[in-house]
Amino acid sequence: MLQFFRSKIRESIFRHPLIVGIISAATGAIIGSLATRVSLTNEPPLASIVPKQLEVNAAETVGFDARQSYDPDGEIVAYHWEVGGQGIDNSPVASCYTKDSERQMDCRFGIPSSHSVSVSVEDQNGVSTTSTAIVKVIVPDGYYGFMLKKRTGGVLDEALIQAFNMAIDWPSVQYNFGGIPILLYDPVKKEVVYAVSVEQSVEGAKSLVNENQLSGDLEIVGFASTEAEDLIAAGLREVGLDARFITPSGLASALQQRGDASFRSLSSLSELRQYYIDSEDSETE
C-alpha cells in the first residue's frame, strides 16, 4: 500500500506543469551558478622572450621574439617592450623598433654593458605577465675614454662638460685615433655616449662659455695621439677654452707634482660615469 501511494505521488509531480517548471528552473539555476563560477576563473597569460641571454657587438642588430607567448584560456591582446628599464621610445641604451604586430623587436645597442630587455603580454581581461632577457653589449676592439679636470682644481660643472663635448669634431678625432670608439659623458642625458653621436656646434659651445663665464684651464687624461690632441686643442681654442694633455704614462709624475690622489685614468665605463656624478654631488653639497 505504501509503495502504491509513493508511485502516485511521483506521477502527480511530473505530470503537473507548475511543479515540473519549478524543478527545471531550480536545476537551471544550479547549472548557471556553476558556469558563472568557472568563467570567473581567469588564468594569466604566459610571456616568453627568445633569446633569454646573449652577447652582441655594439651597433650590431639583434632580434627578440615573443611569439611563443600564449594565454591558456583566452588571447593576448597587447605586447609591451622595455629596454634598459625604459619603453623603447625612451631607451637610453639602444635604438629599437617592433614588427609582426609587436610580437617581435629588433635593436641596435650603443652603450657597452649588460642591459635588460623585457616583454609584457596582456590578455583580454587586463592581466599581464613579463619575461626578461639579459644582453651583454661589447666593443670587440675596446673603447677609449678619458677624464676632464680643472687645472686649478674645483668642480667641473655641467655647462663646461657640455661646451667641451660640443666644441670638438669627434668623427675626425676618432679617425685620427685609429677608429677606436671614443666615449664621452653627456651631462644632459647623464649617460656615457659615443663621441661620434655628439654633433659639433661651435656657436653653441661659445654661447655656453660666454653665458656661464667658463674658464678654460682643463686637463685631459688619457689621450696618447698627437693628431687627436691637435684636433681637440684647435676646437677648444675656437670657443675660448684651453687644455693640457696628460697621457697615462705621464700620469704618475703629474700626481706626484700635484699631490692629487683623485686624479686618475679611466678603467671602466662605470668609473667614467661615477667620476662626473661624484663631481655633481660635491657641487650641490
Q: What is the pLDDT of residues 124-149, one digit of tens each?
A: 999 999 999 999 887 766 677 666 77
The C-alpha cell that represents 38 in the structure block: 568557472
Residues 6+ positions from 248 with CB-CB distance below 8 Å = 221, 222, 224, 265
Span 183-200, mean pLDDT? Answer: 83
The C-alpha cell that represents 232 in the structure block: 681637440
The torsion of the CA quartet 146, 152, 153, 158, rounded to 10 degrees, works out to: -60
pLDDT at residue 25, rounded to an integer: 44
- Reported confidence tier of residue 22, pLDDT bands at 50, 70, 90: very low
pLDDT digits (tens, 9 = 90+) for 143-158: 776 667 777 766 678 8
Residue 114: is its pLDDT beyond 70? yes
pLDDT at residue 282, rounded to an integer: 47
Span 25-35, mean pLDDT? Answer: 46
CB 220 within 8 A of CB 231: no
The residues that bridge with 96 in the sheet, in sequence order, are 107
- Reported confidence tier of residue 276, pLDDT bands at 50, 70, 90: low
pTM of the model: 0.46
The C-alpha cell that represents 67 in the structure block: 611569439
Span 32-57, mean pLDDT? Answer: 77
Cell 616568453 sits at which residue? 48
pLDDT at residue 27, rounded to an integer: 45
